[in-house]
Amino acid sequence: MDSFFNKTKKNPFADIPKNPSEHFDLYFLATTANLTRRLMQIYGTREAVFAEFSFLEIYDEKLAGREPDELADEQADEWWKNALLDWENNCENYLPLKDLRLRFDLDFSNIIILFSVGLVEEDARFGAVFEILNEFSTEKRLTFGTLNFWQKAKDGADSAQSLIYRLLDLGLVKFGNTENPRSEWTLMVTTILWDLIRGEIQFLQTDWLKYTAAEDLSAIENLILSANLKQEISILPELLREGEIQVLIVRGAHHNSRKTILGAVAKSLGLGLIEIRNGDIKDDERWKIINTLAVLLRAMPVFALDIAPSETIDFPPVSDAVEAFGITLGKQGGVRGESVEKAVTITVNLPDKNERRAHWIECLGNSKSDELEEISERFRLSSGNIRRAAKLAKSYAALANHEKITLADVQQAARALNRQSLDTLAIYLEPLAADWDFLAVREETLSDLRQLEGRCRIRENLRDHIGKSLRGQMQAGVRALFNGGSGTGKTYAARLLASALQKDVYRLDLSTIVNKYIGETEKNLAKIFAFVEELDVILLLDEGDSLLTQRTSVTSANDRYANLETNYLLQRLESFEGILIVTTNASDRIDSAFQRRMDTVIEFAPPTAAERSRIWDLHLPEINEVSSEFMQETIRRCELTGGQIRNIALHAASLALSESENLNTQFLEKAIRREYRKIGAVCPLKEKFEANSNAARW
């Protein structure tokens, strides 16, 4: 065998094209030749083997006399090993199988066993061969016992088990029929890895991963980020290349360039990106595959983790063969483990106005907008949501026959994103076609509301106009507490604020958030707070005292976990970057720590007579037949809230509509008395109010 190479100075496969597919075929032929020699031990001669399994002669003919005749098993293995190594060394193209062997330190025997298991995947006729070889089994796949016997006969008592389990550890093979004795366990290749060994990336189709080639990833210099963060990221490839770190953790909001950053780092290393979707970090079988996938694809795996507040999970070891590994995390939760002890963590904040403008310009392309500055200022979206909104905005503009993207198109697009993400967690409140003139409250309350509107408008720029000490603590979030009795206009005011700011408002549905299981409430709250920040909507927490209760002394486990929920909310409010409106009619039940964290507390008092007159005027139809005398008596005697007046007006209108008449004194009186009965109170109006038929109408 050595003399063959020394004399000819020519590889027997020198004429074979140098690519992954041909490399796979050469190992396949080496394995079929190995199998034929083993069958000769049973049938005596090569001719007898071909007589029994005629299809094997086809593979023998493909060798076309390249393999020397009458080689002993040990000689043949050595000949094939050297021939393939020599062919590989003269190949300049990337060979997945070669990279797999070198990075995981696999020897020739490992690869031959792998291909022996995979023969039947390529040609079902090998099933008949294995059925004969599996002496005590009728399986058409190789069994653990058969392979073990082969290796014992050739390499020693323990070699087969170690070789097979090495392939198993890498996810290259897996066992079947494990309910039977181990000698009858069947072996099969992992299809996704088997296809990649052949270099067939086009067949990489799974529901849990997405592969992006290096050439399709963004470069670091093209990322839209702050100068400081971009500079920090540009250093990372060299640290990974030198082995100073292996794992890179990127924290931040969802859809906010976390994977794009990891992709840019991967591109700098000449790697693609494997995005693991719907992945379970505790799935050992999948984890083995991920490490091997990274080598075969020459890619950086990225695992997106959604970890609950105060939760830390154990991260499995990353193989030394993997050049770089990425993890994306939100603001809460953490990871631990040997692999992440030296990990570098970077945090990506939501883009500022200039960064948002750059994203809009890049996304809109030729679909320019004359309102770009206002769009960038008003919609404080994450970078990914800007890109999603831009696509939708183009569609809305086309439907409306706009030549350029308008503010209204973007608003419709943003609203569509909101509904997709938030409808299962909160209740969408339809926008009001109204302004502050529709709210009848005391002057100081209205003044506070207008100031709150102003604060919301400047919330992003405020930190540039305060002292250094305060600037470091400042977030873009705005938190307001509306305190007052039921029906005093708190929820209506929140909706008017949303209308003034031209933002969507969502009311937190406590039934979908609060969970009896420990930690689940915090998880749900973390999710909705994150969505609110990323989508830039207003979150309304109605009757917030049910969540923001005072902490109690711990006398039971329930007290301890209730306090944990409260503590989480306190911490989350500190870092919240959205707009939160909390309403309550029992502010004394709210923990004082929450009140300190509110940027403003606005009091809603029961309406005075003048305010009630204004509310009645806003709620009754312009055309009505209610006497002025009755109306004045009602305003004076009935100290109703705005919510109660709304209910009365609706019921009176229903009565009038059912009678096909205009709303009159009789209908209104019936509605007022019904409202008092509903609340269990005595109506202060006279028993029967007789209005002068000639009295002026209201």
Q: Could you say which of 604, 619, 643 is where a domain stops?
A: 604
Res 7: pLDDT? 41
Residues 606, 104: Cα–Cα separation, whole Å:
75
Q: Could you say which of 201, 229, 257 is where a domain stops?
A: 201
Res 690: pLDDT? 47
Question: Does residue 231 sit in the same domain as residue 320?
Answer: yes
Residues of the chain short of pLDDT 70, as ranges, are 1-9, 70-73, 151-159, 203, 278-280, 465, 467, 469-474, 511-512, 514-519, 546, 549-566, 688-698
Question: Does residue 243 sit in the same domain as residue 343?
Answer: yes
One DSSP character per residue, 560-595 reads HHHHHHHHHHHHHHHH--SEEEEEES-GGGB-HHHH
Reported as type and span, the H/E element at residue 132 is: helix 126-133
Residues 357, 359: Cα–Cα separation, whole Å:
5
Question: Does residue 157 sit in the same domain as residue 21?
Answer: yes
Residues 185, 137: Cα–Cα separation, whole Å:
10
Q: Which residues share a beta bridge with 251?
A: 329, 347
Contacts of 563 (CB under 8 A, 6+ apart): 551, 552, 554
CATH of the domain at 593: 3.40.50.300
CATH of the domain at 653: 1.10.8.60
Say whether 313 sits in a helix, a strand or coil.
strand
Reported as type and span, the H/E element at residue 187 is: strand 186-189
Among 436, 435, 434, CA closest to 446: 436
Sign of CA dihedral 520, 522, 525, 529: negative
Residues 692, 686: Cα–Cα separation, whole Å:
15
Whether 688 is covered by a domain: the verdict is no
Residues 59, 119: Cα–Cα separation, whole Å:
12
Dig out the tokens for 400 from the structure: 């409306």
- Residue 41 neighbours by CB distance under 10 Å: 10
Question: Does residue 15 sit in the same domain as residue 156?
Answer: yes
Among 113, 166, 118, CA closest to 292: 166
One DSSP character per residue, 240-308 reads HHTTS-SEEEEEE-TTSSHHHHHHHHHHHTT-EEEEE-S--TT-HHHHHHHHHHHHHHTEEEEEE--PP
**CA angle at 23 for the pair 18 and 27, rounded to the nearest 5°:** 150
Question: Does residue 443 sit in the same domain as residue 561?
Answer: yes
Residues 423, 417: Cα–Cα separation, whole Å:
10
Whether 248 is covered by a domain: the verdict is yes
- pLDDT tens for 243-263 read 899 999 999 988 899 999 999
What's the domain range around 144? Answer: 2-201
Whether 140 is covered by a domain: the verdict is yes
Whether 624 is covered by a domain: the verdict is yes
Question: Does residue 284 sit in the same domain as residue 306?
Answer: yes
Q: For residue 479, how many C-alpha atoms fall within 13 Å in the half-sphere facing its CB?
A: 19
- Residue 259 neighbours by CB distance under 10 Å: 20
Residues 38, 217: Cα–Cα separation, whole Å:
48
Question: Does residue 146 sit in the same domain as residue 256?
Answer: no
Res 225: pLDDT? 94
Residues 416, 426: Cα–Cα separation, whole Å:
15
Question: Does residue 263 sit in the same domain as residue 334?
Answer: yes
Q: How many domains does the chain have?
A: 5
Residues 109, 188: Cα–Cα separation, whole Å:
17
Whether 464 is covered by a domain: the verdict is yes
Q: For residue 247, how many C-alpha atoms fall within 13 Å in the half-sphere facing its CB?
A: 22
627-643 burial, b at 16+ Cβ within 10 Å, e below that, comes to bebbbebbbeebebbbb
Whether 252 is covered by a domain: the verdict is yes
Res 519: pLDDT? 63
Whether 163 is covered by a domain: the verdict is yes
Q: Read off φ and ψ for residue 584, nearest 5 degrees.
A: -155, 150
SS3 content of the chain, % helix, strand, coil (to 5): 55, 10, 35
Question: Does residue 223 sit in the same domain as residue 360?
Answer: no
Question: Does residue 593 sit in the same domain as residue 660?
Answer: no
Among 124, 118, 113, 127, CA closest to 189: 118
Residue type, 465: H
Question: Does residue 358 sit in the same domain as residue 330?
Answer: no
Sign of CA dihedral 401, 403, 404, 406: negative
The residue count for the chain: 698
Q: Which residues share a beta bridge with 273?
A: 212, 300
Whether 689 is covered by a domain: the verdict is no
Dig out the tokens for 59 from the structure: 């593979």
Sign of CA dihedral 333, 336, 341, 344: negative
Among 200, 58, 192, 201, CA closest to 123: 58
Question: Does residue 481 sit in the same domain as residue 527?
Answer: yes
Among 331, 386, 328, 326, CA closest to 353: 386
The conformation of residue 95, written as its DSSP 8-state character, comes to -
Q: Could you say which of 149, 169, 201 is where a domain stops?
A: 201
The answer to whether residues 306 and 331 touch, using CB atoms and an 8 Å cutoff, is no
Q: For residue 373, how many C-alpha atoms fall within 13 Å in the half-sphere facing its CB?
A: 1
